[in-house]
Amino acid sequence: MNDALRDGSPGDILVARPAPGVVMITLHRPDARNALRTRMLREIAETLAAAEADDAMRAVVITGGLACFAAGADIREMATLGPIDVLLHERQQHWRAIAAFPKPLIAAVNGYALGGGCELVLCADIVVAGTSAKFGQPEINLGMIPGAGGIQRLARTAGKARAMQMVLTGEPIDADAALAAGIVVEVDEPESAISRALEIASVLAGKPALALRQAKAAVLRAFETPLAEALASDRQAFALLAASHDRNEGIAAFLEKRPARFTGK
């Protein structure tokens, strides 16, 4: 197994494997409200790359623990960067890697998910919130706009009115509003949000991995591709899966009234 997946901490995050096939990343800079400095983004991207490369790893949960998800980019670090630094900074590459992670990414959010923290949530596929969660894009108050894809993902996820309100006012919304906006699928007590995310990840870890990967990519196409192209790509993916072991096994198991034995192939 890749060292990046062993239980422990490379520095700004904690990595654990709390259930078969599940990797859990806990953002861990409590003194800075889990601000996403470059080192933390790099560690997240490296852990996701290791999880992608390991066939036994089927889903990833990302959380900030019970107190705070993440208060955004590290403002102290940002203060040192000029326009060219921002443009060429390795952060861009880490954000791209997070957004392109092909296996399910489930976020469990307690406390603040602000700025880059909210943008990280918007890169997740399924989001569970604790009742204490607050989602916001306060960059406007710093004379900026969200820089890690938050505006586009928020508008596509929550619609124009909610995106305008959050991005223009900078005011956070609570967990119930995020549920109504479609950012979150479920609101639980703070202690339960992480265990629910792990439960969901465990369920996904038991699904046929190839179909799961195609399904995630297909849902994301709905946000990125004109309808006719997206439908054509879905049909190709549907046909491709007919060649997989797991599709034939899933059908055979149903017809033989027995549990399927998926191999991920």
> Which residues form the catalytic set?
73, 116, 119, 139
The least distance separating ligand CAA from the CB of residue 137, rounded to whole angstroms, comes to: 8
Segment lying near ligand CAA (by CB under 6 A), choices 43-51, 142-150, 154-162, 230-238: 142-150
In the complex with ligand CAA, which residue's Cβ is closer, 146 or 208? Answer: 146
Look at residue 61 and give its three-state secondary structure.
strand
Residue with tokens 């996904």: 204
Q: Of 139 and 246, which has the nearer Cβ to ligand CAA?
A: 139
Q: Which of residues 31-50 bind ligand CAA (CB under 6 A)?
A: 32-33, 35
As measured in angstroms, the least distance from the Cβ of 33 to ligand CAA is 4
- Cα gap 29→108, rounded to integer Å: 16
x-or-dash string of contact with ligand CAA, 90-119, rule CB under 6 A = ----------------------x-xxx--x
Work out the number of other CB atoms within 10 angstroms of the CB of residue 243. Answer: 9
For residue 31, the one-letter residue type is D
Q: Does 148 bind ligand CAA (CB under 6 A)?
A: yes
Pure H helices in the chain:
38-53, 75-78, 83-88, 90-99, 116-123, 150-158, 160-169, 175-180, 190-205, 209-224, 227-241, 245-255
Give the binding range for ligand CAA (CB under 6 A) out of 4-12, 147-155, 178-186, 233-241. 147-155
Residue 166: strand, helix, or coil? helix
HSE at residue 231, side-chain half, CA atoms within 13 A, is: 3
Closest by CA to 61, choosing from 97, 35, 23, 34, is 23
Number of chain residues interacting with ligand CAA (CB under 6 A) = 21
Minimum gap (Å) between residue 100 Cβ and ligand CAA = 17
User: Could you tell me the smallest distance in angstroms from the CB atom of residue 235 to ligand CAA?
Assistant: 36
The residue (of 158 and 241) whose beta carbon lies closer to ligand CAA is: 158
Helix (H) or strand (E) holding 174: strand 173-174
Task: Decide: is 64 part of the binding site for ligand CAA (CB under 6 A).
Answer: no
Closer residue to ligand CAA, CB minimum distance, 147 or 208: 147
Q: Is 72 in the site for ligand CAA (CB under 6 A)?
A: yes
Residue 153 or 162: the one with the smaller Cβ distance to ligand CAA is 153
Cα angle 35-50-91, degrees, rounded to a multiple of 5: 35
Please give the structure tokens belonging to residue 6. Answer: 């062993």
Minimum distance, C-beta of residue 58 to ligand CAA, in the bound complex (Å): 29
Say which residues have a Cβ less than 8 Å from residue 230's Cβ, sequence separation at least 6. Answer: 218, 221, 222
Q: Which residue ranges make up the site for ligand CAA (CB under 6 A)?
A: 32-33, 35, 71-76, 112, 114-116, 119, 138-139, 142, 146-148, 150
